Chains A and B, each alone.
Chain A
Amino acid sequence: MVGLLVGTQGCFITSSPPVANQGGGDAAAEKLTAAALKMEQAADRLAAAADRLSKLEVRVGSGTGSAPAESTTEVKPLVSEADPGKAATSAEAKLIREVDELYAKYPDVPRVEILKELDGIEIPRVKAGSGKTLELGAGIPVDVGNPHAANKPSQPVKGDQVIVRFNSEPKSLNPVIEQSAVQTYMGQYIQEALARQDNETFEFVPHLATKWIIEDSVKLSPDYPGKKYRLILSDGSPLPSAEIEYLAPVKKESKGEPEVMKIVVKTVNEEGQAIAKGWVGLFPIGKILGAPTTGYHNWSNEQGELVISGIIPGRYRVLTGSEIYGKVKPLADGAIEVTPLSEENPLRQALPPGQTSLVLKADEYQDIQRETWMTFYLDPRAKWSDGTPFTSTDLKFAFAVLNNNTVDCDAVRTYYSDLTDLDALSPLVVRMRYRQQYFKAFEFGAGIGLYTPPFEFFKNRLKTQTTEPAITGYELTLDRLTEAEEDAQKKVSAHGKRFGKFFNLDTAYNQTPLGTGPYMVESWKKTDRVILSRNDSYWLPERSGYLDKLIFRFLPDNTTALQSLRAGEIDFNYRMDPEQFTKDLAGPPDWFKDKFIKADWYTPNYGYYCWNLNRPYFKDQRVRMALAMLFEKEAFLKNKMYDLGTMVSGSQYYFGPGYDHSVKSVDYSPETARDLLATAGWIDTNRDGILDRDGVKLSFEALIPFGNPVIDDRTALLQKTLKQVGVDMQITRIEWAAFVERLKAKDFDLVTLSWAMPVESDPFQLWHSSGATPESRGSNAGSFANNLADELIEKIRVTLEPDKRALLNYSLHRLLDSQQPYLFLYCSKDLGAYHKRFRGVKWYRLRPGFDLAEWYVPKDEQVHKSE
């Protein structure tokens, strides 16, 4: 037996080998032999690994089968020559070439190579063919899989209704207060945005606004003639600029909140008189982790005062100056030309007659933030479902409500905290200012329509409401008033406490919100269903819905939902699990065959395992990479997900612009994983079947939320494959609220979940190192921190050019793939089944993936006749 153990390096083979032929039958002996053989292979691999480390050579084609001893000693020269034979298919080569071309086009984007090998060990990748199978932006076909529709062509016609199953019920239908998935999905037929994201191209197209003009913000230098700005720091003398040191909050001796440093800044003119709403910019001196490289931008209040607080500690240069906006065109020597585009731009009036633009020399301006001023022109036809026109007053009202601290909308308020101004310039023109350059600024600005409550409706409601008797009969105003003023004038301010409380609690809008959309809320039977009925006086007839009613039933249980579909109690069973979709509907059964159509489609999401990088064993990149090779992604997708999904290797949406398709997923390869773990020093020295290093076992806990069969299955599979190479993983299932608590407290070794994201997401929240601190309860639960990642993320946020931003995202993708802070799993499909009488059915690659306003039923197949 000793002979089996090849161990010239012999660093770990100290104890005697297992004794095979004593006690136990042949089977046991066989097992032991197999174990010994494995040990031998491990030893061999370790030897080879050690060898490679010293010689800087790499083994080619580490077999995924149990490699015989000879082949492991076969070493060939380094990477570049490796793998040409496996011939990345032409498609794959094309993808790589495309990215290379982009790198050539944007030399300032940090280039990151796809990780080919780690410590001399080649990273196995899944083979080509599992790449980009569907083109982004391709047209979505209609009525796929419905032969009935194909056999019987029809024209859209009004009538009938659809009953859709949702798995949970919202608490409120008020979009300001609640943003759950179900509320959003129903809300898409009620509330509308200024610009709508096209379902197929993902582009923003005019909706409530017929057009918009986007301009850049330019801050003039403090000494610009006629517009001299000064700032006063804590009652000092007026300065054109200053430097401050912002200190970290000091924990008090006694209990209570730590004291946060506050710096008061005043914006004044040369004479020391206050300038209202003056710009104050704070720019980091040197690198301050987490602070925006493009600076913090704030504006003083009406009295010219600004309190700086809650920023990342560090040294900052404080600047002030007058702000103008327009289209900025760079000229030679750092000069710029600012051209006012919108009619309403004050710069237009300020320019001398005959001049259409202003030229600024390099020393006449201090800062440019591009595309932060947005002027929207509302469609004059747009009106609420009660007939009142949709105007800029409604948007101003929305802005007041969102910024009213009493309104129960903390999430949206933080979300919109960078939209600093919203001005109604005329009933149909509204101008917004975003705090700083940000690629999502437009999305935010245009999206405010979705959170807009109707001003006239509330004005009338206040006259008769009884929720807040103290303000019954008061007139709603957008002015800021104190409570005393409110009582004196018999008015209530949308900014005030009393209105906030009324807004939170009054049922009129919370249960039957008014919108401008193609459907309106007819009724909400609590715990059962919400009924939307078609708005027959919809302002945009060409986008009007066909079905008379959209009924959403709340059936939390999947089995109940499927039974209800069968019983005809629902028409569209939305969100089935893969098991149900394939097994229960295998065949399909008779009851299903003649009546229903199965549908599967992609929405932006991906599943992952997140390693807690604060755990010593997960700190090592090699360990994470090795563990990533131990999940049988391909097999799992095939066997348990029934191919209803696609593997992913990064954190952007697979069909979105930020996903680098040239990065193939790390493949399942226990052999390579074992090598890599051995290189990282994890070897089973005491032969208890679990790897160890310095006396510590590679053993950890996987924390998973209770009640998700897919998560249960995949974690059990991971546990099994980990065990094969000697990694011990216990599974702890806990119920959701408790799970979230441990996740946020970063009290876990490994968790698994899925992210649902927009088509292009901002990677800051997930990957920026500012979220990696133990006290941060944000989304960077694994505490990933990487300087290059930070740099890329900060650039992504301020890069407005789509191609360049995509490339930055590619770089981040490649970096994340090589660092493996997550074990990226797959983007899973959404599954459903619907009645075949519905036509015009399209499955989009956005969430929720369907637009019921497009669905219709041919006249002769309509079931529910309208009276």
Chain B
Amino acid sequence: MATYIFRRLLLMIPTLFGILVLSFIVIKSTPGDPASGRFGGAAAAQGGMNAERGTEDAEKAFRKNFKLDEPLYVQFFWFVGRIFRGEMIYYTKQGSIWPDLIPAMKITLMINSIVFLLVYLLAIPMGIFSATAPHSTGDRIMTLTLFVLYSLPSFWVAEMLRLGVLESNAAWNAAMLSQDAQEWMFNYPISGLHDVNADRFSLFQWLWDYTLHLVLPILCMTYASLAYISRQMRAGMLEVVRQDYIRTAKAKGCSPARVIWVHALRNSLFPIITLFASLLPALIGGSVIIEYIFNIPGMGKLTIDSVFSREYDMILVTMMLSAVLTLLGILISDIMYVLVDPRVSFESKN
């Protein structure tokens, strides 16, 4: 098994290089470059200054500094050299990207871990439930609900939730005001991760405030995946319960619970395991839309901002990170196959 994993890891190197080259070409073939973010005018011109003069020469110097006028291969090797030294920078401010990337990654990782945990905790039992009683009223209701949820766009749900919260805030506060109970007035937060005065809070207050801020975005990110994963679970389970060995188990007098939890569950996890490969990169990928709406400084927001300002280093690093995680995810799910299914083995037949 160790040799197998080692071989797979070695194979990842050329794959990653290929991905690096392709990503680089894709990024470079988008029109525009970081100079447009710096000297393009939008932000700068509003400052009232760059609209006036001076940008042309400055832009020239900038492009020269970052080798933007050099042939593509020169830029590529310059980039590869820096990636090995860990010198990834913002072109527009020369500072390293890591002080921004790492906190953003932490935030996204934390939020997504909660989301995945919730999704799996809910989806697996739900899938099993609908598979064990297919076409029952319960299954139908669940199916309908999940499909409705699945088809609701998350940006719309997010906006609706926020509006709902605002209305409730207003109603609650009005009620408290009329009761002359101002101390009970409260605004449920609808954006960001912390209150303005969070740094003055006690640990408990801080955690409570943090939790309140997290509820809405996590809700929005959970419901769609929930629908998807539970359907996968249901399908996997349905396929398994139709098999002969399950009938045998039933025939030999196993309790229904034992049939499901002991005999069927393990085999019905295959589709979920396959999905795991795609989950790992998503764990740090972040959701652009939800992060934007709730103003959460996570990876999604960071990445999209970098794309718009053509921060090549940041884009490439996030792309490479998800490439590495995808490859690792595939490797892990392959290993898990073997662990779950004894028929699959690392050793080739020869």
Contact = CB atoms under 8 A, between A and B. Distances in A.
Interface of A: 163, 168, 171-172, 177-184, 408, 410-415, 417, 504-505, 510, 526-529, 551, 553-557, 559-560, 563-564, 566-569, 590-591, 604, 734-742, 744, 753, 755-758, 761-762, 764-765, 776-779, 847
A560 B291 CA distance: 11
A469 to B, nearest CB: 16
A414 B47 contact: no
Interface in B14-50: 30-33, 36-50
- Most central of B46, B54, B310 by chain A CB within 10 Å: B46
Contacts of B54: 411-412, 414-415, 417
B183 interface: no
Closest 10 CB pairs of A and B: A737-B32, A527-B297, A181-B46, A410-B58, A414-B54, A740-B36, A738-B31, A740-B40, A180-B43, A741-B32
B47 A179 contact: yes
B40 A563 contact: no
Interface in B277-312: 292-295, 297, 301-302, 308-310
B37 A737 contact: yes
- Most central of A568, A737, A755, A778 by chain B CB within 10 Å: A737
Given A410-B61, A564-B190, A569-B192, A757 B52 contact: yes
A737 B51 contact: no
Contacts of A744: 36
B200 to A, nearest CB: 9
A764 B52 CA distance: 8
Contacts of B309: 737
Contacts, number: 182
A412 B52 CA distance: 11
B12 interface: no
B231 interface: no
Given A415-B49, A762-B52, A778-B55, 16 more contacts: A171-B92, A179-B50, A180-B47, A183-B47, A504-B95, A526-B103, A551-B196, A560-B293, A567-B169, A567-B187, A737-B309, A739-B32, A741-B33, A756-B46, A756-B47, A778-B56
6 contacts: A567-B188, A569-B196, A737-B309, A761-B51, A778-B55, A779-B55
B341 interface: no
Nearest to B192: A528
Given A414-B57, A528-B297, A778-B56, A182 B43 contact: yes
Contacts of B100: 526-527
Nearest to A735: B308
A740 B51 contact: no
B94 interface: yes
A765 B32 contact: no
B331 interface: no
A182 B42 CA distance: 11
Contacts of B274: none
Contacts of A779: 51, 55
Nearest to B188: A567
A622 B93 CA distance: 46
B90 interface: yes
Nearest to B158: A560
Contacts of B143: none
Contacts of A778: 55-56
A820 to B, nearest CB: 21
A555 B295 contact: yes
B64 to A, nearest CB: 9
B189 A569 contact: yes
Nearest to A405: B61
Given A183-B47, A765-B52, A736 B42 contact: yes
B170 A591 contact: yes
A170 to B, nearest CB: 8
A776 B55 CA distance: 11
B162 interface: yes
Contacts of B61: 410
Contacts of A181: 43-48
B166 interface: yes
B53 interface: yes
Contact of B191 (A177, A179, A569, A762): A569
Contacts of B53: 414-415, 762, 764-765
A419 to B, nearest CB: 12
Contacts of A566: 166, 170
Contacts of B37: 737
A559 B42 CA distance: 20
A740 B192 contact: no
A171 B90 contact: yes
Contacts of A756: 45-48, 51
Given A740-B41, A778-B56, A757 B92 contact: no
Given A178-B93, A181-B46, A410-B57, A755 B51 contact: yes
Nearest to A706: B308
B59 interface: yes
B62 A559 contact: no
Interface string B183-208: 00001111111101000000000000
Contacts of B297: 526-528
A140 B100 CA distance: 42
A551 B308 CA distance: 26
A474 to B, nearest CB: 21
Interface string B96-138: 0000100110000000000000000000000000000000000
B215 to A, nearest CB: 15
A528 B93 CA distance: 19
Given A181-B46, A526-B103, A527-B297, A567 B166 contact: yes
B301 A737 contact: no
A521 to B, nearest CB: 15
Contacts of A510: 95
B56 A413 contact: no
A758 B46 CA distance: 10
Contact of A736 (B46, B190, B308): B308
A163 B163 CA distance: 21
Contact of B58 (A414, A529, A776): A414
Nearest to A557: B292
B32 A740 contact: yes
B334 interface: no
Contact of A560 (B40, B57, B191): B191
B93 A737 contact: no
Nearest to A778: B56
B78 to A, nearest CB: 18
Contacts of A526: 100, 103, 297
Contact of A177 (B30, B93, B196): B93
Interface string B135-148: 00000000000000
